[in-house]
Amino acid sequence: MSSRMRDDFSLTAEQREMRDLVRTIARDRIAPLAAHVDEAEVYPAEPLKRLGEQGLMGLYIPEAYGGTDMGTLAFCLAVEEIAWACAATATIYLVQYAGGWPIVAAGTEAQKRRYLPRLASGEITAAFSLSEPGAGSDAASLSTRAVRKGDRYVLNGVKLWVSNGSKASVITLFATVDPGRGKGGVTAFLVEPTFPGFALGKLERKMGIRGSPTVALHLTDCEVPVEHRLGEEGEGYKLALRVLDGSRPAVGAEAVGIAQAALDAAVAYAKERQQFGQPIAAFQGIQFMLADMAMQVHGARLLVHHAASLVDRGAVTTVLESSLAKCFAADAAMKVTTDAVQIFGGYGYTREYPVERFMRDAKITQIYEGTNQIQRLVIARELIRR
Ligand code: COS
């Protein structure tokens, strides 16, 4: 990765070692499959298994439950490396954090023992389900209903855009115990696909990250035992927002990985492609594009590292920094990948080269884990509030 800026000045030896391991797996095992994973829309099972075998699924899980507890920055380093090779694999990888971290944060001892060791080893995977057909940015308006009946809750509703929902053995799913209470009614549940009344819905056909399955979930009198409620009734909304503190920098890291891959490809191509008797890298117009791309990638990476480090230091909330990192990195990825296609010219517009895939994959980072409009709203609100 010759066009990569130095960024290891603030990393520990342990973080660097872990990152180098992920980089090797990404280069040798994930990147060679990425075009096929995209074209055929297949689940990258083998690379994910490999990541599990190497202990890389449990970076956010305490050692007592089989993880390595390396923290959010380490997790973001891993996500970037995987996204550099294959954004679909990176999405699956980061979704198991969004699904599993709430168990670390709010789970009972029994819930932790039931799921965390198997999540850490990669034996099972998790998903996160907040959005609904009518509740996206306005997450608190969700309408999936949970009614307590004795020792169980009965859930009814439709959840949408559930990344990895068809592969997960446990889904951190948000429903309301009382729509009249707004945010105060939102409650989290650990739903398993074997529960009666649970059914997978439509598999989305997406523009990018096509190896990462995105599904709807149908809950029809779905029976969830009370011991599968995560936290208390009404605590779900805050838990969901806390997840986003860590998962937004991780989406930023995914964007950085995609953008770095596009920059690497653009630099290599500009040195090789001859026009007017010289490599196009000799033209100042191309040089200025490459310089701008490098600034975007490096700036985005530093924002991601900063937000993730704050999460690791236990900052009360990193709402502002997490949104800044996610928003800037996603916009940077969109710009850098679009410019990479431009540098490749007509070739870049074909599926012969990976840059059109990078551009399609980058787009989702501006949309999921809160649209970039929501991130700007959050950033402005924090600025004014302070
Ligand atoms: N950690 C802990 N508590 C938090 C928190 C955090 N990071 N962020 C907010 N809270 C608390 C607030 O302090 C507030 O508590 P009180 O009710 O006691 O005051 C409560 O949670 C609600 O927070 P807030 O009022 O800021 O939330 P809003 O409903 O105004 O948030 C937006 C609105 C639009 C910002 C929010 O709904 C959002 O991020 N939407 C996008 C959803 C999303 O990202 N979806 C995609 C995810 S899945 S792909």
Domains and CATH numbers, the chain: 13-125 (1.10.540.10), 127-234 (2.40.110.10), 237-385 (1.20.140.10)
Classify residue 124 by its DSSP letter.
S
Atom 1 in ligand 1: residue holding the nearest Cα = 242
The alpha carbon of 238 and the centre of ligand 1 are apart by a number of angstroms equal to 6
Pairwise CA distance, residues 95 & 165, whole Å: 10
Give 247-280 pLDDT, tens digit per residue: 999 999 999 999 999 999 999 999 999 999 999 9
* pLDDT tens figures, 303-336: 999 999 999 999 888 999 999 999 999 999 999 9
If you take atom 20 of ligand 1, which residue's CA is the nearest one? 238
pLDDT of residue 226: 98
Which ligand 1 atom minimizes the distance to the CA of 131?
48
How, if at all, do strands 126-129 and 170-176 pair?
A: parallel
Cα 95 to middle of ligand 1, angstroms: 19
Cα 237 to averaged position of ligand 1 atoms, centre (Å): 7
Rounded to whole angstroms, how far apart are CA atoms 134 and 186?
15
Q: What is the pLDDT of residues 192-230, one digit of tens each?
A: 999 999 999 999 999 999 999 999 999 999 999 999 999
Alpha-carbon distance 233 to 144, whole Å?
Answer: 14
For a substitution probing ligand 1, which of 163, 241, 244, 383 has the most ligand atoms within 8 Å of its CB?
241
* Ligand 1 centroid – CA 82 distance (Å): 29
Best CA proximity match to 161, nearest among 176, 171, 146: 171
The H-or-E segment that residue 91 falls in is helix 87-106
Catalytic residue among 80, 132, 254, 369: 369
| Contact between residue 75 and residue 308 where contact means Cβ atoms under 8 Å apart | yes
- Report residues whose beta carbon is within 6 angstroms of any ligand 1 atom: 130-131, 137, 139-140, 161, 183, 238, 241-242, 244-245, 317, 319, 368-370, 374, 378
Q: What is the CA radius of gyration of the chain?
A: 21
- Active-site residue, 369 included: yes
Q: Which residues contact 47 (CB under 8 A, 6 or more apart)?
A: 25, 29, 30, 33, 86, 89
How confident is the model over 338-379, as pLDDT tens digits? 999 999 999 999 999 999 999 999 999 999 999 999 999 999
Q: Nearest Cα to 248, choosing from 190, 302, 329?
A: 329
Averaged pLDDT of the chain: 97
Q: Are 297 and 265 in contact (CB under 8 A)?
A: no
CA distance 190 to 100: 10
Surface-to-core class of residue 49, CB atoms within 10 Å of its CB (0-12 exposed, 13-18 middle, 19+ buried): middle
Closest by CA to 258, choosing from 296, 214, 206, is: 296
CA distances from 167 to 95, 96, 209, 263 (A): 11, 10, 15, 32
The pLDDT of residue 5 is 80
Its pTM stands at 0.97
- Confidence at 1, pLDDT banded by 50, 70, 90: low
Does 10 score more than 90 pLDDT? no
Task: Please say if the pLDDT value at position 188 is more than 60.
Answer: yes
